[in-house]
C-alpha cells in the first residue's frame, strides 16, 4: 500500500524547540527535506510572532526555499489575518487547528472548540475559493494533559465538523504521545464509520516509545497517511509530556519493512537531520538514525 | 492478561557493554532490581572469563546478592563445566543458548546448531535431575547479520529440538532488533502450531525502534512472557545492529497501558536504571525513562 508522508519538522518540530534557528538554517533544512522527495512539507505557521517567536520568519522562509513541483509546501493558519499572509507567501496548502479536548483548546487558543471552528469557517471558505487545499488538525485526540482520556466520540464529532467546513484532510494528533495501539484501534473503529479513510492522517508523538506501534496499527487498519518529523525533532526529551513527533527515519524504516511504499528517501532525510542536529546542538531522537549512524554513507537496510 | 517479565540487563545487557562494572556495582544493580519485584532476573553467565570478561565474577555476584523468595535468579550456562559452577552458586534456573542461523551459531559458539544442541543434552538432563528449570534461547530468530532473513520453519525446528531435550521455556530472540510486527505474526503463526504458548518468551532488541510494536503484537497473539533490560542496557547505541534489549520501563508502560498485569514496579525499575546509568556513565535508551525523568519522584501514569 502506498503511504503519504507529511514532514512536520519545520513547523511542529521547530515550534517546540527552545532554541530558535536562523532563517538561513531553516531554509537549508527545508531545502534538504525537499531533496528527500516528500509529498508534503509543513514549512511554517502564520501565527503571532509574539506567541510563537520560533516561526516569526514564515514569510521569509517561504520566499527563500527552493520549491519542487512534486511537493506541497503547507503552513498553519489560525485566522483570516494568517490566511492573508499565507496567500501572499504563496503557500500550497493551509492547516487549521483545533483540539478534541475543550480544556486544551481553551488553554491553547483561548476559545472553545465550537468557537475555534467558527473562526475557521471564513478561512476555509477563502482558501477553497483560491483552490488551496485545507488540512484540519484535531489535537489531543487520545489523551489531554488536563482532561485525561478523550472519548473517541468526541474526536469523531470534531472531525465531522471540520469536514463539514470543507477541509480536505483531518490530521488526528496524539499530542502528548500517550496513546497505545489498543486506543488507536478503538478510535479508528469509530472514526472510520464516519470518515473516509483517505481523508485521515495520523499524527503521533513518541513520548513513551509507542509511536511506531501506533503507526503500524493504523496502517493495518488501512490508514495510508502519516505525519512525522526528521530526527523526531520537537519537544524537549527531558520534559514529561512534550516529546517530539515520531521520527521520519523510524517511520520510513518500519513501514517500508512492513511492505508499504513511501516516497521520501531515508538517506536524504538522514542528511536533513544531520543539518538539524548541528543547528540544534543536541542529538536527535530517532532509533534508526542511531542505528545507521555507524553505517557507511548510503548503506541501506535490505 | 498476566505478563511475566524476565530482567536480562545484568546478563544480556552488561555482557554487551564495553565498560566492565565492578562486582559491587553489579550486586547493587541486581539488588535494586530485586526490589522491583520481578518473577525472574538473569543475573550472569557461567562462561569462559576470557571470552566474556564482563561476566567473569558470576560466582561472586551470586554469592553476594540478596535473594528474594518470589524471584528466580538464573544464569546462562554453555556446557557441563558451566553447569557445575552454576550449581555450586545455587542458581535458581539455567539457560542454554543456540541460534536459528547456522552461520551465526558457528561464529558465536564455533559449532553447528545440531552440535550445540547435542552439547546441551547432558547439561539439561543434569539440571532437570536437580529440579533446576531450564530456558532455551533461540537467537537470530528473525534476522541474522550474516544470513539475512531466517525462515520461521527453521525457528520452529530448533525450538522443537530444545523442547525435546526437556527445556521448560523457549526464548525467541530478535538478536539484531530488526523484526517488524508482520514478521512477528508470521513466526508466531507457525510456532504456535507446534509449541504451547505458555512455553514461549519473546526477546526483542530495540535497534530500529520496533521493539514495543513487536511486544504488543506478540501480546495480542497470546504471548505473556517477555525479556527486557532496565534502561534498555546492552549494545552500543552508535553501533549498527547491536542495540540493547527493549527497555523494561518501556515494556512495563506499554503493556500496562494495554491492560496487561505485570509484577515489576516501574518506579523501582527506574531506580535500578539510575544506578546503572551512573555506573556506565552514559544516558540509557528508554523513552519512558526520558519522559518521566522530569516528573516528580513517584509520579505515575494515570
Residue of A nearest to B249 (CA): A208
Q: What is the pLDDT of residue B235?
A: 72
**Cβ contacts of B239 on chain A, cutoff 8 Å:** 294
Tally the C-alpha atoms within 13 A of residue B105's C-alpha that lie toward its C-beta. 21
Question: Which of A205, A207, A284 is closest to B288 using CA atoms?
Answer: A207
CA dist B278 and B292 (Å) reads 17
Domains delineated in chain B? 2-292 (3.20.20.70)
Contact between chains at B209 and A294 (C-beta distance less than 8 A): no
Whether A234 and A15 have beta carbons less than 8 Å apart is answered as: yes
Distance from CA of B62 to the nearest CA of A (A): 33
Residue reference for cell 473503529? A189
In this predicted structure, what is the pLDDT of residue B298?
38
Average the pLDDT over B22-43 and give the result.
Answer: 98
How sure is the predictor about B300, in pLDDT bands with cuts at 50, 70 and 90? Answer: very low
pLDDT digits (tens, 9 = 90+) for B138-177: 999 999 999 999 999 999 999 999 999 999 999 999 999 9
Smallest CA–CA distance from A248 into chain B, residue: B209
The share of chain A scoring above pLDDT 90, in percent, equals 89
Q: Is A241 left (phi over 0), alpha (psi -120 to 50) or beta?
A: left
Q: Which helix (H) or strand (E) holds B248?
A: helix B248-257
Q: Which of A51-55, A93-97, B242-246 has the highest mean pLDDT?
A: A93-97
**Strand, helix or coil at B228?**
strand
Question: Taking CB atoms and an 8 Å cutoff, what residues of chain A touch B182?
Answer: 258-259
Among A52, A258, A269, A63, smallest CA distance to B217 is for A258
Sign for the pseudo-dihedral over CA of B31, B36, B41, B44: negative
pLDDT band at A28 (very low <50, low <70, confident <90, very high): very high
Q: What ipTM does the predicted assembly reach?
A: 0.94
- C-alpha A273/C-alpha A21 separation (Å) is 14
Q: Taking phi first (over 0 means left), then psi (-120 to 50 degrees means alpha), and beta for anything else, what does residue B241 get?
A: left
Check A287 against B207: CB less than 8 A apart: yes
Rounded distance, CA B242 to CA B235, Å?
A: 5
* Residue appearing with cell numbers 532473513: B149
Please list the helix, strand and coil fractions of chain A in percent, rounded to the nearest 5, in that order. Answer: 45, 20, 35
Compute the distance between CA of residue B181 and CA of residue B220 in angstroms, rounded to an integer.
Answer: 11
Looking at the partner chain, which of A210, A257, A286 has a beta carbon nearest the beta carbon of B212? A210
**DSSP β-ladder status, A2-7 and A261-262:** parallel
Query: What residues contact B289, with CB distance under 8 A and at least 6 apart?
Result: B231, B247, B249, B250, B270, B273
Strand partners, A203: A173, A227
Strands A93-99, B169-174: pairing is: unpaired
Instruction: Report the distance separating Cα A1 and Cα B68, nearest Å.
Output: 51
Q: Chain B: give the shortest CA distance to residue A20, in Å.
A: 22
Beta-bridge partner residues of A135 = A95, A169
Task: Place B295 in a pLDDT band, splitting at 50, 70 and 90.
Answer: low
Q: Which residues of B touch A287 (CB under 8 A)?
A: 206-209, 243
Q: Which sequence positions of B are flagged as catalytic?
A: 236
The Cα B136–Cα B97 span in angstroms is 6
Q: Which of B178, B223, B243 is nearest to B5 (CA)?
A: B223
Quick check: A212 and B213 CB within 8 A?
yes
pLDDT of residue B108: 85
B285–chain A nearest CA distance, Å: 9
* Catalytic residue numbers of A, as ranges: 236
**Pairing of β B200-204 and β B261-262:** unpaired
Q: Which range has the worst mean pLDDT, A34-48, A277-291, B217-231, B250-264? A: A277-291
Amino acid at each position: 500500500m502506498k503511504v503519504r508522508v507529511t514532514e512536520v519538522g519545520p513547523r511542529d518540530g521547530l515550534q517546540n524547540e527552545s532554541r530558535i534557528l536562523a532563517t538561513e538554517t531553516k531554509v537549508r533544512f527545508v531545502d534538504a527535506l525537499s531533496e528527500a522527495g516528500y509529498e508534503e512539507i509543513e514549512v511554517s505557521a502564520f501565527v503571532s510572532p509574539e506567541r510563537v517567536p520560533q516561526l516569526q520568519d514564515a514569510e521569509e522562509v517561504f520566499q527563500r526555499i527552493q520549491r519542487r513541483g512534486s511537493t506541497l509546501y503547507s503552513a498553519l493558519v489560525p485566522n483570516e489575518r494568517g490566511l492573508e499572509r499565507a496567500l501572499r507567501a504563496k503557500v500550497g496548502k493551509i492547516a487549521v487547528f483545533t483540539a478534541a479536548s475543550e480544556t486544551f483548546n481553551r488553554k491553547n487558543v483561548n476559545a472553545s472548540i465550537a468557537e475555534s471552528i467558527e473562526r475557521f469557517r471564513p478561512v476555509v471558505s477563502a482558501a477553497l475559493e483560491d483552490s488551496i487545499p485545507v488540512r484540519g488538525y484535531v489535537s489531543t485526540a487520545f489523551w489531554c494533559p488536563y482532561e485525561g482520556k478523550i472519548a473517541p466520540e468526541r474526536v469523531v464529532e470534531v472531525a465531522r465538523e471540520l469536514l463539514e467546513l470543507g477541509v480536505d484532510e483531518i490530521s488526528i494528533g496524539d499530542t502528548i504521545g500517550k496513546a497505545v495501539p489498543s486506543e488507536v484501534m478503538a478510535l479508528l473503529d469509530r472514526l472510520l464509520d464516519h470518515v473516509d479513510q483517505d481523508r485521515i492522517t495520523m499524527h503521533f508523538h513518541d513520548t513513551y516509545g509507542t509511536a511506531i506501534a501506533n503507526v503500524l496499527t493504523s496502517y493495518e487498519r488501512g490508514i495510508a497517511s502519516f505525519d512525522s518529523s526528521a530526527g523526531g525533532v520537537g519537544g524537549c526529551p527531558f520534559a514529561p509530556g512534550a516529546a517530539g513527533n515520531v521520527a521520519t527515519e523510524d517511520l520510513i524504516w518500519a513501514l517500508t519493512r512492513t511492505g508499504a511504499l513511501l516516497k521520501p528517501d531515508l538517506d536524504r532525510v538522514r542528511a536533513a537531520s544531520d543539518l538539524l542536529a548541528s543547528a540544534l546542538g543536541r542529538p536527535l531522537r530517532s532509533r534508526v538514525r542511531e542505528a545507521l549512524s555507524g553505517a557507511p554513507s548510503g548503506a541501506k537496510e535490505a
